[in-house]
A and B are shown apart, each in its own frame.
Chain A
Amino acid sequence: MTTTTAPLPPAPVGAFTRAAFEAHLASLPPLPEWWLARKRAAFERFAALPLPVRTDEAWRFSNVSGLTLDGFAPPAPARAVPFASIGISKAARLIFANGRLFSREILAPDLGRRGVVVDTLQNALREHGDLVREHLLAQPARLGSGKFSALHEAFLVDGAFVHVPRGVEVELPIGIFSFALGDHAAVFPHTLVVADEGARVTVIDYFGSQDDTERQLAIGANDLYAGHGARITYVGKQDWSHQALALQSNSTVVRRDAGVQSLNVHLGARQARHESHSQLQAPGANSEMLSLTVARDEQEFDQRTLQIHQAPNTRSDLLYKNALLQRARTIFSGLIVVDPDAQKTDAYQSNRNLMLSDEADANSLPGLEIQANDVRCTHGATTSRIDPEQEFYLQARGIPKRAADELLTFGFFEEVLNRLSQDDLHAALRTLIQTKFAGEKAAR
């Protein structure tokens, strides 16, 4: 065998060329210097980085050949959105279509008076520049999606900005809806949540398409910052087109005695990667990371997580549950990192896969990296099938096999949904997942 040294090929950029980037910048309102500089730097990173390859440890088991950027383009502004209420009262609602604000409604009249900001990133860049600068994409992408995160930053048009000032509790959830409309549309949704000392807020991030057959690219990100004693509940519902390539990265920063609970529900996309990165930065910080996935047909859901304990007496608890149907694939790779001085850390990581098909494929790579000596950490992964005795029990009550399996799958998910303290949210999510099962029945 002979080895030859070939010059490195240019890193692939698909439709996101330098010319496209300049055109994107020209389409935006005047940006603050710092943000423009960061976008330019992000574009250079994007252009220089290679696409992931099979041998990248951070992409182990992923279908890297599905990560092509060819053929996508920034979409035209949308004239209508497929918005459908999920039946939860909200304090405010932002709707984005193809990356631009479609509508903004403040439904709880006292939000403004209490100093709560629910606005677009474009407005926030002007009016709350310091806060945005401090928290927007402030944490480096550490889980493998560097190229895509850079693309997100470079081509980010607009997103949601939620700021809850000190001591303010927003009782009702804030809803953010991001839609991708049109074939080959590329969207870059972003949600930034900053909760100051003692503030409380719930944010629901919904991602959807109008047409399940449209090929789309969605590269989204969210930054959650919980200041001293703050509480953030974040629910992400990913329901992109079933032909979409979706990459989402989350960064959660938790300060002293603060808590963040995040639940991501993954239903859509052909191939979806979700990276979630929690930093427990000060004593008493707590991050609960939850996920539910219904993977069907040829869908691939690839989840990578990082729980970093940087201070003593911090807690993180991850529970990711996947139900796999047909030939679907899931990948879970999680890492708990405990820094040397993060004594008395409590860290849990659990990935459970329910296989509803013999052809489905679940991969699990749980991991620990502990440098402190007085910690409590557990991690584990299980893969199980429908219990035939449970199935027979339900069938013996007249419930057809398929509905029985569905009911058992809901039972499997319930452990995660039960962690939510809001009953209406619990009910709405259950209905959403049910609709997904029902839709599958109707479609096939």
Chain B
Amino acid sequence: MSSLVIHDLHVSIGDKPIVKGLSLTVNSGEVHAIMGPNGTGKSTLAKVIAGHPDYTVTGGDVLLDGRSVLAQEADERARAGLFLAFQYPSEIPGVSIANFLRAAVQARLPEGEEIDATAYYKRLYAKMDLLKIDRKFTSRAVNEGFSGGEKKRCEILQMAMLEPKMAVMDETDSGLDIDALRIVSDGVNALRGPGLGVLMITHYQRLLNHIVPDFVHVMYDGRIVKSGDKSLALDLESRGYDWVKQELAALPA
């Protein structure tokens, strides 16, 4: 049983505060969705959890299984069980998916232990079959010349291979047509289970038709302002974010 605890987190880029006291707990087996208008700090939150060096945490904490990850480099956090599915995955020319994933798997082995190549490929092909990905995919350079859907599927394949405890999925639905969205969602659903906690960040409700969340949170101006179950997402879909903003404005300061 794992937990990702975000406690009163404050984040700035330069001098500009972006995340302003956000708290949230994700446990294994749960799927949480964070929704919110653009510019509210959702992607910043995702990158900060993963350890992007451009952001400064000015207060609060992020804990994986009770241990703060804030002092750790991005690679240490990933090896501890965190995974970020990128909104805009980088293209890595000249590095094949097979070699890239191999390096990632190798990095999880004890010092001096070499990866078992046969077992690695067996597992890789099994995961690709599970996600219905063509085997020719592995020899292509990571994300280079990929369509939006291929990039996102590649993210899901990485997640399947690395078997994280907690996955943060940043706008996984962006840039996908309806078919690609279904394929990617099927992939995430195939990986759902008691050993995995998921924090999905999305602007639109449509992703949540395919990956049904256990909890929905509304993020606005750097904080979570409302939490509920999946019906909250449907309310947002029909009523828009202005409804939340008005409700907030009506609250005593």
Contacts and interface: CB of A to CB of B under 8 A. Distances in A.
26 contacts: A392-B53, A392-B74, A393-B86, A393-B89, A394-B100, A394-B103, A394-B104, A395-B51, A395-B73, A395-B74, A395-B78, A396-B74, A396-B78, A396-B84, A397-B162, A398-B104, A398-B107, A398-B162, A404-B75, A407-B95, A407-B99, A407-B100, A408-B92, A410-B94, A411-B92, A418-B94
A381 interface: no
B79 interface: yes
A398 B94 contact: no
Contacts of B89: 393
A401 B95 contact: no
A415 B94 contact: yes
Contacts of A389: 90
A392 B84 CA distance: 11
A399 interface: yes
A403 interface: yes
A398 B162 CA distance: 9
Nearest to A418: B94
A57 B103 CA distance: 45
Contacts of B90: 387, 389-390, 392-393
A394 B94 contact: no
Given A389-B90, A415-B94, A395 B75 contact: yes
- Range for the number of chain B residues in contact with chain A: 20 to 34
B3 interface: no
Given A390-B90, A397-B103, 13 more contacts: A388-B53, A393-B92, A394-B103, A395-B75, A396-B75, A398-B78, A398-B108, A399-B104, A407-B95, A407-B103, A408-B92, A410-B99, A418-B94
A434 to B, nearest CB: 11
Contacts of B51: 395-396
Contacts of A415: 93-94
B206 to A, nearest CB: 26
A403 B103 contact: yes
Interface of B: 50-53, 73-75, 78-79, 83-84, 86, 89-95, 99-101, 103-104, 107-108, 141, 158, 162
Interface string A369-397: 00000000000000000011110111111
A84 B82 CA distance: 42
A400 B75 CA distance: 5
Nearest to B105: A398
Given A399-B75, A411-B141, A394 B92 contact: yes
B106 to A, nearest CB: 8
A414 B74 contact: no
Contacts of B92: 390, 393-394, 407-408, 411
B91 to A, nearest CB: 8
Contacts of A412: 93-94
B20 to A, nearest CB: 24
A415 B92 CA distance: 12
Contacts of A59: none
A399 B107 contact: yes
Given A388-B53, A392-B74, A393-B89, A399 B103 contact: yes
Contacts of A403: 103, 107
Contacts of A410: 94-95, 99
A404 B142 CA distance: 13
B212 to A, nearest CB: 26
B111 to A, nearest CB: 11
A188 interface: no
Contacts of B95: 407-408, 410-411, 414
Contacts of B158: 397
A398 B79 contact: yes
